[in-house]
Chains A and B, each alone.
Chain A
Amino acid sequence: MRIGDAKQSYEADEAIWTSSTQKFWFAVFLLVLAVFPFVADAYLLYIGCLVGIAVISTTGLNILTGFTGLISLGQAGFMGVGGYTVAWFSLHTALPFPLTLLLAGLLTAAVGILVGLPSLRVKGLYLAIATLAASVFLHFIFAEWQAVTGGMGGLSLPPAHLFGLTFQSDFEMYFIIVPLAVVMVLAAKNVFRTRTGRAFIAIRDRDISAEILGINLLRYKLMSFALSSFYAGVAGGLFAYFYRVVTPESFPLSLSIFYLAAVIVGGMGNLLGGILGAAFMTLIPEMLNLLTATLTPFYPNAPVFMSPMLGIIFGALIVGFLIFEPNGLGEIWQRVRRFFRLWPFRN
């Protein structure tokens, strides 16, 4: 059991890592992430990169939906803006990937501000529909603005590059995606130690009260949209570099629902939950495929029988989480942590 964790100052209370144990385990986690590409096979590396992109996008949506309380169904559209921005700059300029990703984030943030304008008037389901409309509009632009987006055929782009180095394989892309994911999650964590982050939370909890407390709703709501869209733009840009092709069908509405589900399953307003939700949503179909593969030697028709079942199992798992742990995977994680912290005593 760990004791004596009393905070002596506000700084200590606000610190990201409040104890040396946390710092130790975070260092171990970083070490595992660093070693992972050297021991993982091609498949696991691919999944690792996919989870990294999902973590960035989910974190962005969590800022908007989980922390500011503004439901968005436009995440796929925002990712599309980022993806096409990176593709366009990669094809027409020689900019290195940090700059194209930054431009993707900034341009998407600008689009996010525009999409977020109705958020001052509408919220809840109405805002969800407004963002859905924006997503449909963006999809239309991707499909029809032939000169810039390549129309329905999309764009194929060259690999990411920096100082003469190209990042083509999953192994190489891992060293862009995962460090960026870590940095962006930490940055998001920091945001909620500032006035801006606390303003987001205040708006979520009660926007009228927040306004009475002196929080400019328009400014902070748009800021939340911009920040969230920045994350989505960077995730979309990484998606473009990772697959090296972007088409309008790369960013379907179902992708927005996927990320919203990841935020809900992980735990709204919980960054760690968002990470767990993104990993859960990405890995579960793969785990279920593994189950099918295990059954196939004993029952050769297992793929045909199991495949439709997988959707049901996947859906049941999500519903199960929502019923039995509405606070999401993040809360389960906290319970597990509490158990070990207080062990051998009951918590």
Chain B
Amino acid sequence: MFKRFLTRGLRLAGIGSVAAALMTAAPVLAQDKEPIVFGGSIPLSGVFAFAGVHIHAGLTDYTNWINSQGGINGHPVRYVMEDTGYEVDRSVAAFKKITGSNRVPVYYGDSTGFMKTIASELNSRGTTLMSGASFATALTDNQTYPYQFIPGPNYTQMFGIILEYIAMQGQEGDKPTVAFVYSDTEFGKDPIENGKAKAAEMGIKVVEEIVTKPGSVDVSAEVLKLRRARPDYVVFHGYILSPINEFMVQMRQMGLDTQFMGTFWSSDKLIIDRMGADADGYMGVMPYNYYDSAEGGPMLEALRSQAQKSDPDAGYRPTAYMQGWFNAMVWTEVVKRTLDAGKELTGDNLAASLASIQDWDTGGIIGVPVTVRDMSFPVGRIWRVNAKEASYEPVSDWIHLN
């Protein structure tokens, strides 16, 4: 009896050992495969550092998470980055250094300037697909930038989503009026001409257009112009915070009931933190769910859990973190599709894989399945600040432009 028990036990132990060995061997085999390198020129210092540190955290956390899931088709992922100070020449230097010592199929660019500058090199190399912090409309020109994509809607598409929302708010066929306030920079001017054309096409009247320096403080004269024009909506673009807060406070003090809206980089918690109750009602277009939104989904939960694991004290993670994570998610999907098709990780194959993304479920990062059009994800949702809760709440459905 004892002998039979022992034999059976040994046999079970043997099977268990083989299973255990196989289970431990699987990750080892995965680690044996060539790592896939995520490269990045990241602005950890300089004027864009406020976002850069969170982009870096998002990319780092995603890399750790995907490796904990066995990597990409068994290939471990390695994230190699360098600080750029948000300077184009240093971003290019980082690119040369990282791509010189690694085979880098996907790369994070920290600015529109860098992504435009590196385009000729990317095109001649044909080895790397790039995305990054830029949502510039110009980068979705596939002829000039065939190996670059936008990890969300470009700025023109963001304006399109905002205008779609504004058009829906019209009562009895009356379309609301709008004013555009933007910074005197490439960033600020990006969507304005297309935005005006789109507004005209939709029958929305642009009653005022104001250009300021980014970060302006004294906007009294501009506020008076808006007071005369009395737009129903003011759309800000090309700012992070100032002068949005100045416009909002001064116009509300004048008793105007104008609604204020902004694009990606001016739609984070910073505006709530700095303005407090005055931020109430401010609306922003955002392609991703906010970290603390009521929305869910397997990937969004994975993001929250990984963020909590990597820094339990960090609390809320800004939209830059979500952007970093989503960039890496798209890279993973694109690399996976290319490997699954048995193709080499070249710029052309990666770009083709990106273009093939249709009705892709992002696991809750974006609330609806997304389709790539012209190297961008033209989807977003309008969120409004609830100052009491210090959070953004959705006020529209997800709007997917065609």
Chain A nearest CB from B92 CB (Å) reads 7
Residues of A within 8 A of B138 (CB): 153
Interface hits, A170-196 → B, CB 8 Å:
170
* A303 and B81 contact, CB distance less than 8 A: yes
Cβ contacts under 8 Å, B113 to chain A = 247, 249-250
Q: How far is the CA of A308 from the CA of B86 in the complex (A)?
A: 12
Tell me whether A304 and B44 are in contact in the complex, defined as CB-CB below 8 angstroms, given that A43-B100, A292-B83 are known contacts.
yes
Q: Number of contact residues on A: which range applies? A: 35 or more
Q: If the complex has contacts A152-B189, A244-B120, A310-B45, are A304 and B100 also in contact, measured as CB distance less than 8 A?
A: no
Do B100 and A41 touch across chains, with their CB atoms under 8 A apart?
yes
B187 to chain A, nearest CB (A): 9
Q: Given A248-B186, A249-B185, A304-B56, is A47 in contact with B93 using a C-beta cutoff of 8 Å?
A: yes
Residues of A within 8 A of B189 (CB): 151-152
Taking a contact as CB atoms under 8 Å apart, the answer to whether A285 and B100 are in contact is: no
A243 to B49, CA, bound (A): 24
B: contact size bracket? 20 to 34
| CB pair A245 B45 closer than 8 Å | no
Write the chain B residue with the least CB distance to A306: B83
Shortest distance between the CB of B253 and any CB in chain A (Å): 33
Q: Does B88 contact A (CB under 8 A)?
A: yes
Q: With A152-B189, A247-B186 as given contacts, are A46 and B96 in contact (CB-CB < 8 Å)?
A: yes
Query: Is A289 engaged at the interface, CB distance under 8 Å to the other chain?
Result: yes
**Shortest distance from the beta carbon of B10 to any chain A beta carbon, whole Å:** 44
Q: Which residues of the partner chain A approach B93 to less than 8 Å between Cβ atoms?
A: 43, 46-47, 50, 286
Quick check: is A311 within 8 A (CB to CB) of the other chain?
Answer: yes
Q: Which residues of A contact B97 (CB under 8 A)?
A: 43
- Identify which of A143, A156, A304, A311 contacts B144 (C-beta below 8 A): A156
Per-residue interface assignment for chain A, residues 64 to 94, with 1 indicating a CB less than 8 Å from any chain B CB and 0 otherwise = 0000000000000000000000000000000
CB distance from A211 to the nearest CB of B (A): 42
Contact A250 B49 (CB under 8 A): no
Q: Mark B203-227, 1 if CB is under 8 A from A, else 0.
A: 0000000000000000000000000
Which residue of the partner chain, among B85, B99, B144, B185, contacts A152 with CB atoms under 8 Å? B185
Query: Chain A CB within 10 Å — which of B44, B56, B90 has the most?
Result: B44
A332 within 8 A of B: no
Query: What is the CB-to-nearest-CB distance from A89 to chain B, in angstroms, rounded to a whole number?
Result: 18
Asked if B361 is an interface residue, CB under 8 A from chain A, the answer is no
List residues of B (123-178) whose CB comes within 8 Å of A's CBs.
124, 138, 144
Taking the complex as formed, is A293 at the interface, i.e. its CB lies under 8 A from any CB of chain B? yes
Interface flag for B32 (CB, 8 Å): no
Given known pairs A250-B88, A304-B44, the reply for A245 and B185 (CB within 8 Å) is no
Q: Say if the beta carbon of A15 comes within 8 Å of chain B.
A: no
- How far, in angstroms, from A306 to B49 measured CA to CA in the complex? 13
Residue contact B119 to A307, C-beta cutoff 8 Å: no
A58 to chain B, nearest CB (A): 15
Instruction: Chain B residues near A286: list those with CB within 8 A.
Output: 90, 93
Q: Per-residue 0/1 for A241-260: is the Cβ within 8 Å of any B Cβ (1 yes, 0 no)?
A: 00111011110000000000
Verify if A168 is at the interface (C-beta below 8 Å from B). yes
Are B100 and A308 in contact, CB atoms less than 8 angstroms apart? no
Tell me whether A307 and B90 are in contact (CB under 8 A): no
Chain A: minimal CB distance from B58 (Å): 13
Q: A245-B117, A303-B81 are contacts. A43–B44 as well, Cβ < 8 Å?
A: no
CA distance A154 to B97 in the complex (A): 26
- List 9 extra interface pairs beyond A244-B120, A247-B113, CB under 8 A: A41-B100, A42-B96, A243-B92, A249-B186, A286-B90, A307-B44, A307-B45, A310-B45, A311-B45
10 cross-chain CB contacts under 8 A? A42-B99, A143-B184, A247-B113, A247-B116, A250-B88, A285-B90, A292-B83, A303-B83, A307-B44, A308-B45
Interface on A for B, CB 8 Å cutoff? 41-43, 45-47, 50, 143, 151-154, 156, 159, 168-170, 243-245, 247-250, 285-286, 289, 292-293, 303-304, 306-308, 310-311
